Amino acid sequence: MFIKAAILGFVIVAASALPSPAADVWYEDNNLGKGGVSMPTDFVEKFRQPESFSEATKYIRVYMVRAQVMEAMDDQFLTTSFNQYLKGNSIKLAIDAGGATWAQAGARGKVATNELGLLKRLQGLGVKVDYISLQSVLSKPLIKDGEERDYPMSMRIEDIVKYSKAIRAIYPQVEIGIIDALPSHGKDYQQPYRQLKNALTREGIELSYIHLDMPFELIKEQHHGITWQRVREVERYVEDELRVKFGLLATSSKGGHNSSKAYHHAVMAALMCYSGADGTPHDFIIASWFSYPEKTIPETATGDDYPTMRTVKEFGRQLDRIEKNGARSVFAGQSSWAAMCER
């Protein structure tokens, strides 16, 4: 395990007060496109040097961690470094979980068992878990022997309900939401979202949020006819019709496969383009599962060096400017918005 037996010095950097931006910023470390417990090489070092991303810290409202990565953290790191960082800076914790995805397929039940064991461990250590984000649970295709297999929406929803009940038995107050890509795939989302909300409601569980996984270039290049206004329609349906919080992942597959600089500029463009299209999400989620960015610190990097905390810092600053002056203030005019945001 990548953190086992690590001896870390830690200094809490308390966040000074900032004006509350229009949207909350969620952050998740890159897994470098490798899955499992892969993390940026400076993940541990980051918590040894909290001053190296102190301004970015002020903007992070929720720190999201993949369940497998959390499982790899030893108790010492969890309690004396990571959890102290969260508590010292009033940052909430979200677990990016896969236990409800294809839970009835083959040996997938083991994933849920492991994640529930993790939650019990965290509870025993006094770590507060505020959110559980169910990863791609409605939209991820089931691939077996190189072929896509049918996994009906009814079974997906059944899996979510069962898993959510098990989660609530451990953390009764945790908020449960989904990360979803149905609109990104050009598929109907309204009926599945409503069916899920209703199924959870029947069990006394609230669907707290829906975070849309739609990389920047899918919208800019209008894959499946997707436009910024179509994303806005998803937001309106989720928030106005379902009364569920809506979030948009600020990420880029193309940038993430190219360079940290390309990723940074695409993430910033996602913020400006969606804000310029009158998007008002409750959350923006900065995340990557690509080759880049390779490192997280320092936030003070210059030139073509773009660690993710530099991106978080500049993203937060831009969000503040948009909140203060309006989205259109960051563009010279409609033509410049179109040049950045449309193909």
- Predicted confidence at residue 225, as pLDDT, reads 93
Q: Is 107 part of any domain?
A: yes
Average per-residue pLDDT for the chain: 91
Q: Is 17 part of any domain?
A: no
Q: How confident is the model at residue 106 (pLDDT cuts 50, 70, 90)?
A: confident
Return the number of other C-beta atoms located less than 10 Å from residue 320's C-beta. Answer: 16
- Predicted confidence at residue 145, as pLDDT, reads 82
Q: Regarding beta strands 131-135 and 175-180, do their DSSP bridges make them parallel or antiparallel, or are they unpaired?
A: parallel
Segment 261-287 mean pLDDT: 96
- Quote the percentage of the chain above a pLDDT of 90: 83
- Predicted confidence at residue 86, as pLDDT, reads 97
pLDDT digits (tens, 9 = 90+) for 152-200: 999 999 999 999 999 999 999 999 999 999 999 999 999 999 999 999 9
- Predicted confidence at residue 336, as pLDDT, reads 87
Between 33 and 241, residue with greater pLDDT:
241
- Predicted confidence at residue 333, as pLDDT, reads 60
- Predicted confidence at residue 195, as pLDDT, reads 98
Which pTM does this prediction carry? 0.92
pLDDT at 211 over 70: yes
Segment 102-129 mean pLDDT: 95
Q: How confident is the model at residue 329 (pLDDT cuts 50, 70, 90)?
A: confident
Q: How confident is the model at residue 15 (pLDDT cuts 50, 70, 90)?
A: very low
- How buried is residue 132: exposed, middle or buried, by Cβ count under 10 Å (0-12/13-18/19+)? buried
CATH number, domain of 337, equals 3.20.20.80
- How buried is residue 336: exposed, middle or buried, by Cβ count under 10 Å (0-12/13-18/19+)? middle
- Predicted confidence at residue 66, as pLDDT, reads 97
Domain count, the chain: 1
Q: Is 8 part of any domain?
A: no
Q: Is 19 part of any domain?
A: no
Q: How confident is the model at residue 332 (pLDDT cuts 50, 70, 90)?
A: low
Q: Is 73 part of any domain?
A: yes
The domain containing residue 52 runs over which residues? 24-341
Q: How far is CA 136 from CA 85, 142, 184, in A?
A: 28, 11, 11
Segment 106-132 mean pLDDT: 95
Phi, psi dihedral angles at 323 (to 5 degrees): -65, -40
Q: Is the dihedral of CA 53, 306, 227, 33 positive or negative?
A: negative
Q: What gap in Å lies between CA 238 and CA 244, rounded to an integer?
A: 6
pLDDT digits (tens, 9 = 90+) for 42-100: 999 999 999 999 999 999 999 999 999 999 999 999 999 999 999 999 999 999 999 99
Q: What gap in Å lies between CA 182 and CA 186, rounded to an integer?
A: 7
Q: What gap in Å lies between CA 287 and CA 307, rounded to an integer?
A: 12
Q: How confident is the model at residue 220 (pLDDT cuts 50, 70, 90)?
A: very high
pLDDT at 5 over 90: no
131-140, 268-277, 326-335: which has the minimum mean pLDDT?
326-335
Which residues have a Cβ under 8 Å from the Cβ of 87 and sit 6 or more positions away? Answer: none
Segment 194-214 mean pLDDT: 98
pLDDT at 20 over 70: no
Q: Is 178 part of any domain?
A: yes
- Predicted confidence at residue 334, as pLDDT, reads 60
Q: Is 18 part of any domain?
A: no
